[in-house]
Structure 1
Amino acid sequence: MDLRACCAALCAGMVGLMGCGGDSGTNGSSGSPGGPGAGGVGAGQGQGGDTFGSGGDPFGGGGDPFGNGSNGANSGAGGGTNKSGCEHVDVVFAVDNSSSMEEEKESMREVVFPAFAQALLDISGIKDFRAAVLDACPSPANFHTRGAAGECSFQSGKPWMESTSTDLTSEFQCAGDIYSGDVQCSGDSDDEQPASSVAAALEPPFATGENAGFLRDDALLVVVAITDEDEQPVPRQQMQAIHDRLVATKGEAKNVVFLGIAGRNDCDGAYGSADEAEDMQQLVDTFTADSRGFFWDLCEGRLEDGLTNALTAIEEACTEFVPVVN
């Protein structure tokens, strides 16, 4: 699937998300039957039968992704005045760079990263985002400014990408060709801890050093962690501890969306073999109490669908965003 087709597919998926009802389970594929959209009584009644419990008509009867107005307008039949609580999103992708991940990395680099970037900007109320990429080894946990082929030369002049870049697709493709030439992990399972790597990247010394300035007080944090094995923190930590570390960077659990992509069971799937990722699933579960966690089964393939599910949580999280007060 080329990028243009994938963007169209993601945008079509987002149209189906408008006026969504209910919460989602850890697989991102369940949802309560759709009730009235966020726009008020004028919003359509959801069918509850599709992946997201979307509204009955093509627009969920609610207009934009927050149910405001009709067909994207800010007012209309029962439209209301609900607006996004956040206008900015900070995204961190952590990708297991082991040799068994070649198919997944190709999909992320060529299709998923660029399409996800476009889909973020299509969410009503979001003005901009920044995105950083790192591998699954937290030593070091600095954001990548190069891919396997060389320097990415981000227009931002920072170790992350900005949505204002005029060459964002190429920047994503460069960084998505994961570089691990500086890792200090042994490769004996200690380089397969993507969520732990993100936590380390957002904590001192990296948050005050190489990655300084990335997190914004007025931005929602979105973490995407992908591995074909499991989250294997070194030294060993409980998944709740990793959850708490990520939440601490934002001060409020509702300000963090976490998408874990791994195998639900041992399988030979669309991207090759994957191990059952019990810990990654447990980590996702720690975020589901606030409707901020999604798990996508790598065995099912279609990584673009997994990120589409994350967009659902991003939309909801933006309506409940609590800015950090210093």
Structure 2
Amino acid sequence: MRRLALAALAALAACNNGEGPGPGFGSSITTAPQGTSSSGDASTSTSTSTSTSSAEDSAAASNSSTSSAGSGIPDGGTPPDGGDKPPPGCMGKVDLVFSISSSWTMENQQEALKASFPGFVDTLETAFAGFDYHILVPRQYGPPWGIPGCEADCVDTCPTGPEDYPCGAVLEPCDTVKGAGITFSAGWDASNERCDLAGGHRYITAGQPDLTGAFTCVGSVGTSGAGVVAEAAVSALKDEINAPAGCNAGFLREDALLVVVAIDDVWDELSEGTPKDWADALVGAKGGDADAVVLLVIANDIDDPDSLCGYEPGGEHRLRTWTQLLPHSVFGSMCVDSYDGYFADAAAKIKAQCDVFVPQ
């Protein structure tokens, strides 16, 4: 099954003007990136109290009165010490990354994801008063399909593409950056339009008027490419892309729980690094706090003797290993009729971790 998927990728590359995902990537992710919004260790302070006897209280009161009378300055008492560290709980702030493969075999999985999304959000909105979300779908690699190759023959549509192909599309610099939030996809089964996101961000925020419509637009990544879902998720969290001038500026917040959802129909043999690298990168993005990360992976389960997709042993299922390396994760088979159950499990983990989360 994996050999078939990889052969299909080679065929797609030939159709796409001979341009595939590229032979490699410029930097290693063996060092976990830090979230831009994190700035060192959390500041902590403690307050203490002591009890005294009645006699000691009286003596203290007398000394205080004498001191105040002698100086003419009222005694304001002992100043506060600044209080305790921030209260636990993410206060409904959740940064969600949906990393979605655009392989030619992914049409059903993308539709199942979009069908499950509204129920997932409803669950989180019920769990959190004033649910404050950031939702980002990272680009896997390269420019949208058909650009620039299709432009030469594009009149009303692309002769080798879908009827709704956007011939007049103008790319923005971040449209070609791996890990940047998608606002424009093109190709078969893609949105084939520029998504209108509130605030001019490359991610959806709580101010989005039509949340489901916006997610349907950015989540329709199409089936004219391929996927490096783990690498794209990690790339979306790097310092430089979340810096003030970066493509994802403002996405990653230090006081928000990080939730990563990866959807693929293979084992992600193309992403650079190892499952441990990917796990370390997610934890590193939250200042080293593994309890601030929830991971949901939906992929084929052919490595499982009880597989829903058909048992086909051999090799390491890298996406399953990724979930096993993180303490708060869910692995689901893509071969179920609905992803609702997996999203319900993930929502329960999000609520549990949000209740105990302390910003770093």
- TM-score range for the pair, normalised by the shorter chain length: 0.5 to 0.7
2: CA distance between counterparts of 1:301 and 1:142? 30
The percentage of counterpart residues that share the same residue type is: 29
- Which protein has greater RCO, CA pairs closer than 8 Å, 6+ apart? 2
The answer as to 2:244 corresponding to 1:203 is no
What is the match of residue 304 of structure 1? 340
**Residues 141/314 of structure 1: CA separation in 2 closer, same or farther (3 Å cut):** same
Per-residue deviation, 1:210: 0.6
2: CA distance between counterparts of 1:85 and 1:113? 21
Secondary structure of the structure 1 residue equivalent to 2:297: strand
The structure whose Rg is larger is: 2
Confirm or deny: 8 A CA contact 1:192 1:229 kept in the other structure. Answer: no
**Residues 164/120 of structure 1: CA separation in 2 closer, same or farther (3 Å cut):** farther
Q: Deviations over 1:50-97 (max 9, x none)?
A: xxxxxxxxxxxxxxxxxxxxxxxxxxxxxxxx9844320010100011
**More strand by proportion, 1 or 2?**
1
Q: Deviations over 1:188-212 (max 9, x none)?
A: xxx4321221111110432221111
Confirm or deny: 8 A CA contact 1:258 1:293 kept in the other structure. Answer: yes
Unaligned runs of 5+ in 1: 1-81, 182-186
What is the match of residue 121 of structure 1? 125
2:228 equivalent among 174, 193, 199? 193
What is the match of residue 243 of structure 1? 279
Confirm or deny: 8 A CA contact 1:133 1:176 kept in the other structure. Answer: yes
What is the match of residue 225 of structure 1? 262
Q: Deviations over 1:240-295 (max 9, x none)?
A: 1110011111111111111111122169xxx988987711111000112xxx1111
Q: CA RMSD in A?
A: 2.9
Per-residue deviation, 1:103: 0.6
| TM-score computed with the length of structure 1 as normaliser | 0.63
The answer as to 2:127 corresponding to 1:90 is no
1: CA distance between counterparts of 2:88 and 2:358? 13
**Residues 176/321 of structure 1: CA separation in 2 closer, same or farther (3 Å cut):** same
The letter of the residue matching 1:117 is V
What is the match of residue 181 of structure 2? 143
**Residues 274/214 of structure 1: CA separation in 2 closer, same or farther (3 Å cut):** farther
Confirm or deny: 8 A CA contact 1:89 1:126 kept in the other structure. Answer: no
Confirm or deny: 8 A CA contact 2:139 2:178 kept in the other structure. Answer: no
* 1:1-326 alignment, distance < 5 Å: 84-109=89-114, 111-125=115-129, 127-137=131-141, 140-147=178-185, 148=190, 149-178=192-221, 191-208=226-243, 209-235=246-272, 237-251=273-287, 252-265=289-302, 278-288=317-327, 292-324=328-360
Secondary structure of the structure 2 residue equivalent to 1:178: coil
Secondary structure of the structure 1 residue equivalent to 2:181: coil
2: CA distance between counterparts of 1:134 and 1:256? 17
Unaligned runs of 5+ in 2: 1-86, 143-176
Per-residue deviation, 1:107: 1.9
Confirm or deny: 8 A CA contact 1:83 1:125 kept in the other structure. Answer: no
